[in-house]
Structure 1
Amino acid sequence: MPRKKVRNYSLYTKEACRLLGILIRNARKEKRMTIEELAERASTSPNFVRRVEKGGLTGEIGVAFELAFIVGVPLFQPENTGTPNPKYLNYKISEALQKEALLPQSARKPRETVKDDF
């Protein structure tokens, strides 16, 4: 049996997952949804929902985002808007692609300069 790879996550990553889980749990409770109902709507298992709500660091990010969307947790939208806005997401994607076009195609370490002064 293959060994499970141990990952070291930064404190920021751990806290961000914890915050997302708390937001999803609170929104689910506000909507009076059970874990089982949310899991069924997201086509996942109740155990995965529990893991996300506890700030778990494993699993598919797409499913976690879907859980957030279903219960109404805003992820990528401007503050003070009530509903997700696909136009805003398209705008942010376009903005990111424009920035990407200005960046180099690949990242390389700089060459070491040869010190030939004897």
Structure 2
Amino acid sequence: MAAHLRTYSRATRDALTLMGGQIRLARKQRRLSEAELAARIGIARSTLQLIEKGHPKAEIGLVFEAAHLVGIPLFVADPSDLPDRIAPVEDKLALLPRSIRQRRTEVVDDF
């Protein structure tokens, strides 16, 4: 059985490469070895290497943890501001339907 090969958009690949590079740069600027940062995150050094290369299979939580530990801002400059940013998103989501159903009939919009 052939494995499904997932393709990623150019923007996604570039963003992963950028985040990985920023993590690696910040780690080196803080004079942390790969082994030291990996130990702080609780992962293998090889997993950190995948993160720093921008590999798309790296868990997003691990990428965010690595970024946070080396001082890369995630969405806001001050991490203590994150909870304040969550509430407005949750408020907007509460106004929308819980699920989106696929349309049963095709909409004819060629006037």
Q: What TM-score do the two structures reach when normalised by structure 2? A: 0.87
Determine the structure 2 residue equivalent to 1:116.
Answer: none
For the aligned residues, what is the CA RMSD? 2.0
Runs of 4 or more above 4 Å deviation:
none
Unaligned runs of 5+ in 2: 107-111
Determine the structure 1 residue equivalent to 2:10.
Answer: 11
Determine the structure 1 residue equivalent to 2:25.
Answer: 26
Distance 1:95 1:15 in 2: 29
Determine the structure 1 residue equivalent to 2:92.
Answer: 99
The change in CA–CA distance for 1:39 and 1:3 in structure 2 (over 3 A counts) is: farther
Deviation at 1:6, TM superposition (A): 1.4
Unaligned runs of 5+ in 1: 79-83, 114-118
Distance 1:7 1:15 in 2: 16
Determine the structure 2 residue equivalent to 1:69.
Answer: 68
Distance 1:66 1:85 in 2: 12
Distance 2:3 2:65 in 1: 27
- Tell me the percent identity: 39
Larger fraction in helix: 2
Aligned length: 108
Bigger radius of gyration among the two = 1
